[in-house]
Amino acid sequence: MTCPHCVGAEELFGARQASADLKRYRAKGPLKTAQMLIDALRALGVEDKRLLDIGGGVGVLQHELLKAGMASAVSVDGSSAYIEAARDESARQGFDGCVTYRHGDFLDVAQTLEQADVVTLDRVLCCYPDVDAFVARSTDLSGELYGVVYPRKTLGARVAIRLANLFLKVNRNPFRAFVHDPRHVDAMVREAGFEGRYYATTLVWHVVVYQRVRTLRMAPPTASVAEAA
């Protein structure tokens, strides 16, 4: 990865942060929004399915969904430290051989990935400047379910992102975070052939699970992000 943004991400999400995140996961389990996403996916059915976890971090979604019956997972992450931490956790939990790890920017490696049944993006969209390309490519790789956690476009979120980016600029790290328009993200996913099946918010985050239209059963859809934003 040679782009400045990617180099900055590798530095920001280094060994110290990976170690802290793994320690927290082992002690307290998934973060609230990650658990919400896991529960929603489990309710829609993950048994014997294949997962593509983009920005997989220390492997929280992978390990929890494998425990729920998912057959296998592919994790893509731009941080080599996070991939190493996730490998260690896979070995500790007995999932050696169940997860394939790919290091690199998702848009750089996407063309080499096979379509999965389930694609997850937990707090990842806010790390990418080109949200259109990211959503387009990631939805292409989802055969059934598409789960995403990303920031709400509130004043508080925008201020927090600006302060974080100012800190990064002062420290000469080229990585930047983003608050993308939820209505735009929702419209792109729906145009790719999905319908909303689960929608919830916290003070800061949207948690949404979509399902490809061809797999939907006769049940009323959830409210869309566009309706609720």
Q: Can you tell me the distance from the alpha carbon of 25 to that of 31, in angstroms, rounded to the nearest whole number?
A: 8
The interaxial angle of helices 15-28 and 80-93, nearest 10 deg, is 30
Distance between CA 159 and CA 179 in Å, rounded? Answer: 10
- Tally of structural domains, the chain: 1
Q: Residue 168 in contact with residue 8, Cβ under 8 Å?
A: yes
Output the CA–CA distances (angstroms, integers) from residue 146 to 8, 135, 138, 139, 161, in the order listed. 27, 10, 9, 7, 25
Predicted local confidence at residue 219, as pLDDT: 47
Those residues whose C-beta lies under 8 Å from the C-beta of residue 193, and which sit 6 or more positions away, are 139, 212, 213, 214
Q: Residue 104 region, left (φ>0) first, then alpha (ψ -120 to 50), else beta? A: left
User: For residues 96 and 72, is the Cβ–Cβ distance under 8 A?
Assistant: no
β-strand partners of 226: none
pLDDT at residue number 68: 97
Please report how many Cα atoms fall inside a 13 Å half-sphere around the Cα of residue 188, on the Cβ side: 19
| CATH for 201 | 3.40.50.150
Structural domain boundaries, residue 37:
4-228
Per-residue pLDDT, 2? 61
pLDDT (0 to 100) of residue 26: 97
Q: Both tokens of residue 102?
A: 């790919």
Per-residue pLDDT of the chain (229 residues; tens, 9 = 90+): 567 777 777 888 889 999 999 999 999 999 999 999 999 999 999 999 999 999 999 999 999 999 999 999 999 999 999 999 999 999 999 998 999 999 999 999 999 999 999 999 999 999 888 999 999 999 999 999 999 999 999 888 888 888 988 988 898 988 888 899 999 999 999 999 999 999 999 999 999 999 999 754 444 455 566 555 5
Query: SS3 of 22, please?
Result: helix
pLDDT score, position 158? 84
For 85-124, b where at least 16 C-beta lie within 10 A, e where not — what string? bbbebbeebebeebbebbbbbbbeebeebeebbbbbbbbb
Residue 58 and residue 23: Cα distance in Å, rounded? 10
